[in-house]
């Protein structure tokens, strides 16, 4: 509700409460229980409750807080329920694919599930930080433009979303691939997670990361359907992508083991993205503009320069193993900073300006 009013800060901040409550539960509740994991579950419940309560004052201030009442058969509720059920499946395709990956990985070499899990954690960070955030912003804007029959404004907003997600997604994808081992080493290499695990997880991360841009584009293209109250088409495309993932899983897992599962997931994301774009194009709703195509070409050039700079400064992993945690962390931060600086510099040199990023959500 707040997002439809253009108030994104509140909903963006609320996940902090979930993290805080889980941490507090791990410190204060779990040690007091015979089954510590139950304490974490309590933390999740409390986190959700606090998130809900935190938003109520803002709803009241906006004048959209109404007294709850049971209206299961209300025409508006029936319409939302009809639209929501297929939409829930549509946004869950990637999670369902991950579930299938995990199931198949359980039959592969020991450690496969962990390697896939840790590499997926790194993939989800930019996806949640950038892809979902941009999708959250453009959905209410697209809905308004559809209701007002602003077809040109609708396409403009879609194009802005594609530009923004590629601006952030291309360096995130290439950065994950170039710094796969250093990131895994800094974040996870301790305890039972050995250098060999870093190497194995980096292989699946490379495969997953190759599909990151497609995952992010899916988050931006899907609102082009939801805003027009078409929740069935993304589900249809999602099912096709899910079946594609299963077929690719069977093929690539046989040849490449757990890495094949990550490859299959990345390929199915491309299929899903391509179908979503094709559907919007056929419907005459959105076609990528020449301006955006040239913009993406400049992003690719800047991304290539970024990777070259990172690899130029990247020490051999055998050297990283000799460093302390602080040294590794500092070097990783330096490489990320170097990559970001080179990326932005090349963008500027190739003619990218702030006007190219002008918001299309007004």
How far is 362 from 273, CA to CA, in rounded Å?
Answer: 25
Residue that wins the pLDDT comparison between 9 and 135: 135
120-156 per-position pLDDT tens digit: 999 988 888 888 888 888 888 888 887 777 788 889 9
Q: How many Cβ atoms are within 10 Å of 323's Cβ, its own excluded? A: 15
Rounded (5°) CA angle 229-236-71 = 40
How far is 34 from 352, CA to CA, in rounded Å?
Answer: 58
Mean pLDDT over the full length of the chain: 88
Tokens of 198: 């870093």
- Tell me if 26 sits within 8 A of 43, measured CB to CB: yes
Task: Calculate the dihedral angle through the C-alpha atoms of 221, 225, 227, 230, rounding to the nearest 10 degrees.
Answer: -160
How far is 58 from 60, CA to CA, in rounded Å?
Answer: 5
- Per-residue model confidence (pLDDT) at position 359: 60
- Per-residue model confidence (pLDDT) at position 204: 95
Task: Name, of 21-25, 100-104, 165-169, the range with top average pLDDT.
Answer: 165-169
CA distances from 2 to 50, 135, 141, 239 (A): 17, 15, 13, 31
Lowest mean pLDDT, pick from 41-55, 138-152, 288-302: 138-152
How far is 356 from 362, CA to CA, in rounded Å?
Answer: 15
Q: Model confidence at 90, in pLDDT bands (50, 70, 90)?
A: low
Q: Model confidence at 356, in pLDDT bands (50, 70, 90)?
A: confident
φ/ψ bin of 109: left (φ > 0), alpha (ψ from -120 to 50), beta (otherwise) = beta
How far is 74 from 49, CA to CA, in rounded Å?
Answer: 27
Which residue has tokens 């695990």?
Answer: 197
Lowest mean pLDDT, pick from 96-110, 185-199, 285-299: 96-110
343-353 per-position pLDDT tens digit: 999 999 999 88
Q: What is the pTM of this model?
A: 0.84
Q: Model confidence at 170, in pLDDT bands (50, 70, 90)?
A: very high
Q: What is the mean pLDDT of residues 34-62?
A: 88
Q: What is the mean pLDDT of residues 96-117?
A: 88
Lowest mean pLDDT, pick from 56-70, 182-196, 213-227, 332-346: 56-70
Tokens of 339: 């990559």
Q: Is the pLDDT of residue 360 over 60?
A: no
Q: How many Cβ atoms are within 10 Å of 78's Cβ, its own excluded? A: 12
- Tell me if 245 sits within 8 A of 156, measured CB to CB: no
Q: Tell me the HSE value of 162 on the side-chain side, using a 13 A CA sphere.
A: 23
Which residue has tokens 């938003």?
Answer: 55
């Amino acid at each position: 509700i707040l997002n439809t009013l253009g108030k994104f800060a509140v909903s963006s901040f609320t996940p902090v409460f979930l993290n805080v409550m889980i941490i507090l539960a791990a410190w204060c509740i779990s040690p007091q229980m015979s089954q510590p994991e139950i304490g974490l579950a309590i933390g999740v419940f409390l986190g959700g409750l606090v998130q809900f309560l935190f938003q109520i004052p803002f709803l009241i201030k906006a004048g959209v807080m109404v007294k709850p009442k049971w209206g299961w058969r209300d025409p508006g509720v029936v319409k939302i329920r009809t639209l929501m059920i297929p939409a829930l499946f549509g946004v869950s395709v990637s999670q369902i694919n991950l579930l299938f990956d995990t199931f198949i990985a359980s039959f592969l070499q020991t450690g496969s599930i962990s390697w896939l899990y840790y590499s997926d954690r790194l993939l989800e960070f930019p996806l949640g930080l950038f892809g979902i955030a941009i999708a959250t912003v453009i959905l209410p804007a697209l809905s308004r433009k559809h209701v007002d029959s602003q077809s040109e404004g609708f396409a403009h907003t879609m194009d802005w979303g594609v530009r923004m997600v590629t601006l952030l997604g291309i360096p995130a994808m290439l950065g994950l691939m170039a710094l796969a081992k250093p990131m895994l080493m800094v974040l996870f290499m301790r305890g039972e997670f050995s250098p060999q695990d870093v190497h194995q997880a980096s292989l699946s991360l490379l495969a997953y990361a190759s599909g990151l841009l497609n995952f992010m584009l899916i988050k931006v293209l899907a609102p082009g359907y939801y805003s027009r109250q078409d929740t069935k088409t993304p589900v249809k495309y999602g099912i096709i992508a899910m079946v594609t993932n299963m077929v690719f899983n069977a093929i690539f897992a046989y040849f490449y083991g757990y890495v094949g599962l990550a490859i299959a997931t990345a390929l199915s994301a491309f299929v899903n993205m391509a179908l979503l774009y094709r559907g919007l194009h056929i419907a005459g709703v959105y076609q990528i503009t020449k301006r955006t195509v040239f913009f993406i070409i400049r992003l690719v050039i800047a991304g290539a320069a970024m990777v070259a700079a990172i690899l130029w400064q990247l020490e051999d992993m055998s050297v990283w193993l000799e460093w302390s945690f602080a040294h590794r962390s500092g070097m990783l931060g330096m490489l990320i900073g170097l990559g970001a600086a080179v990326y932005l510099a090349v963008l500027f040199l190739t003619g990218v300006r702030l006007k190219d990023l002008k918001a299309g959500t007004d």
